[in-house]
């Protein structure tokens, strides 16, 4: 049976990973929309500035998650969170349509999680 400490730690890890992914997704992709007419060095500097805050959340998330998860489980969890955040970003911020590819990728992530987390 899963204890409250495990569930609480997982919840905090997932929340921190989600927050870090919001920062990193903006660092990696928002310049494509917002800074496309600016010099590349400006886009790089802005992205680095955003990424600093991503690391301020991501490092604690991984340290917390590694208390109850293997590094491989933590990586798969990270990728699931990344795809979830990216899909929301693509639709809400970049105004792209979700296609069946997002659903297929999500199913692959579910399969990866099943293999990684099964006993």
Residue 112 is predicted with a pLDDT of: 84
CA geometry: angle 28, 101, 106, nearest 5 deg: 80
Q: Average pLDDT of 79-97?
A: 92
Buried b (16+ CB within 10 A) or exposed e, 104-116: eeeeebeebeeeb
- From CA 109, how far away is CA 62, in angstroms rounded? 19
Q: Average pLDDT of 8-26?
A: 94
Band (pLDDT 50/70/90 cuts) for residue 1 is very low
Q: In this model, does residue 4 exceed pLDDT 70?
A: no
Q: Average pLDDT of 23-52?
A: 96
Buried b (16+ CB within 10 A) or exposed e, 27-37: bebbbeeebee
pTM confidence score = 0.82
In the DSSP assignment, the letter for residue 105 is H
Band (pLDDT 50/70/90 cuts) for residue 101 is confident
Residue 60 is predicted with a pLDDT of: 96
Task: Kindly report which listed range (14-23, 45-54, 90-99, 107-116) carries the lowest average pLDDT score.
Answer: 107-116
Question: Domain segments of the chain: what residues?
Answer: 4-117
Task: Kindly report which listed range (17-21, 32-36, 97-101) carries the lowest average pLDDT score.
Answer: 97-101
């Amino acid at each position: 049976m899963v204890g409250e400490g495990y569930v609480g730690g997982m919840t905090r890890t997932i929340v921190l990973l989600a927050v870090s992914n919001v920062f990193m997704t903006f660092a990696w992709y928002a310049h494509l929309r917002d800074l496309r007419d600016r010099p590349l060095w400006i886009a790089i500097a802005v992205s680095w500035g955003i990424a600093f805050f991503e690391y301020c959340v991501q490092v604690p998330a991984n340290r917390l998650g590694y208390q109850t998860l293997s590094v491989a489980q933590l990586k798969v969890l990270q990728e699931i969170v990344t795809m979830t955040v990216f899909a929301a970003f693509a639709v809400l911020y970049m105004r792209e349509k979700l296609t069946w590819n997002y659903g297929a990728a999500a199913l692959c992530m579910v399969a990866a999680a099943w293999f990684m987390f099964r006993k």
